[in-house]
Structure 1
Amino acid sequence: MRLTVLGCAGSFPGPESACSAYLVEAEGFRLLIDFGSGSLTALQRYAAIDAIDAILITHLHCDHMLDACTYVVVRRYSPDGPLPPLPVYAPMGAAERIAAAYSSEAEPVDDVYTFYGLQPGTFPIGPLTVTVDRVNHPIETYGVRVEHNGHVLAYSSDTAPCEPLLRLAQGADVFLCEASYLDGRQNPPDLHLTGGEAGQAATKADVGRLLLTHLVPAWASEASTVEAACAAYAGPVEVVRPGSRYDL
């Protein structure tokens, strides 16, 4: 597998990055995990704009799905004719949410996307084996585990500490984990992780490498976030950047 970070800013686009979007490739298959605001720009740097084979949206906050609305134009109005409907794995209500954001008339988008409702469990997407489970966030949100040829990528999506996150990340080669808040503050409960909490999860799940994402530059110090993560996890820690690539 190859992971390419298209966007990694948390909650809203940052000065240097679009919001969450991660391209996972294996055997020529391209799965886009999340499609946050601004990430369609970055997608075009690393793949043909019409070359995505499937999309998985972890939850329906704008910073994880809004560019799926913009992408309707790409697939519906291509000069070569409409492209085939694209599989989208997402929480229930995604079709209505995307349609409402795309058009004030809530024009259906079933000519562009074929929607599959997420629920906890394991299923194939192309050559990938994907497991999702509900994590601790105010709306229906899924953490993700992706397996291929014995290698494992885990992705927290947005979550506060919870047991399903540890199960999804257990033994992963790479753990892509959000770290939105600073340790030592009275942060809102049941919403996001701190760097220290991300490090604790990585240690408990015995992962091989911790990649921090979804940092919010306007709210938190990157250096302090990394310091807290490293204090809780002894393995390699890195803050991802747009364009970062990781081979598993």
Structure 2
Amino acid sequence: MRQVTVLGSCGAYPEPGRACSGFLVEWDGFRLVLDLGYATLPRLLSHCPDGALDAVVITHEHPDHCIDLHGLFRMRLYGGDGTKLPLYCTPGVLTRLSGLEPEADLRSVFDIHELPGAHRVGPFELTGVLLPHYVPNVGVRLQNHQITLAYTGDTGPDSLLAELGRDSDLYIVEATDRKGEPQQPQRNLLTAEEAGHWATLAGARKLMLTHFWPGNDRDASATAARKTFDGEVLIADEGLVVPLDRT
């Protein structure tokens, strides 16, 4: 099985029936999750009973990207077999989650690898690249000899976005479209049209829009992205499964 399953697609906070950022990547039995925001853990457990994963990657410390990691921590702390789970994240993630339960050591459950940086993770070469946001934040590139998947959960416009998604088979890009953000002097979020622009510069084959601001019209976001991207545009909806192939 080689696929990506959308666990959550909202930015900031979940809408009814939805969850915040989260994606399950499966490749020939290897299971990796990208971000675990609000309400993603129950969805993850429907695919991975008992939290059986091979790796977790968290892009930054904002709760809509990492809060359900603490639930996974408790599951493995009290119900696991003692095997540590590799966790790739920015340092702020540990600081943020440690504040929830200071007496519990996250390192007793997770084998920590700091991002940004490059790591071998199962069948993938993982590269974490710093991107502009309110806190230290990475875009993630997963690559092997058959597929390239790139993901940015949060970011302002930056030339590194073209390199992050270079020749990717699937580029998952935030399309927050938060009102007033394009007028800010320091940009920390993208519009859907900008997501399409960077996917085009990257030469991506497929673009998936995610991290929608609650209440936004997702079809309108897809229409905006198609103004700047000629390839296939997908909307990240909870439960959507996208095969990782080049057909």
TM-score of the aligned structures, taking structure 1 as reference length:
0.91
Corresponding residue to 2:124 among 125, 128, 131: 128
Quick check: 1:136–1:191 contact (8 Å CA) kept in 2? yes
Distance 2:175 2:93 in 1: 25
Corresponding residue to 1:144 among 132, 140, 144: 140
- 1:163 shift after superposition: 1.3
SS of the equivalent of 1:32 reads strand
Distance 1:38 1:187 in 2: 31
**Identity of paired residues, percent?**
33
Distance 2:104 2:180 in 1: 46
- 1:35 shift after superposition: 0.9
SS of the equivalent of 1:172 reads coil
Q: Which runs of 4+ in 1 moved over 6 A?
A: none
Distance 1:183 1:166 in 2: 24
Question: Structure 1: where are the runs of 5+ without partners?
Answer: none
**1:1-248 correspondence runs (5 A):** 1-78=2-79, 82-101=81-100, 103=101, 105-120=102-117, 122-181=118-177, 186-188=182-184, 189-218=186-215, 220-248=216-244
Amino acid at match of 1:242: E
- 1:97 shift after superposition: 2.1
Deviations 1:51-75 (A, max 9, x none): 1111111000000000111112210
Distance 1:191 1:217 in 2: 17
SS of the equivalent of 2:196 reads helix
Deviations 1:166-206 (A, max 9, x none): 10101111111110016897554421110110010111111
Distance 1:11 1:141 in 2: 15
Q: 1:20 to 1:187 in 2, by over 3 A?
A: farther
- 1:150 shift after superposition: 2.2
Amino acid at match of 1:171: D
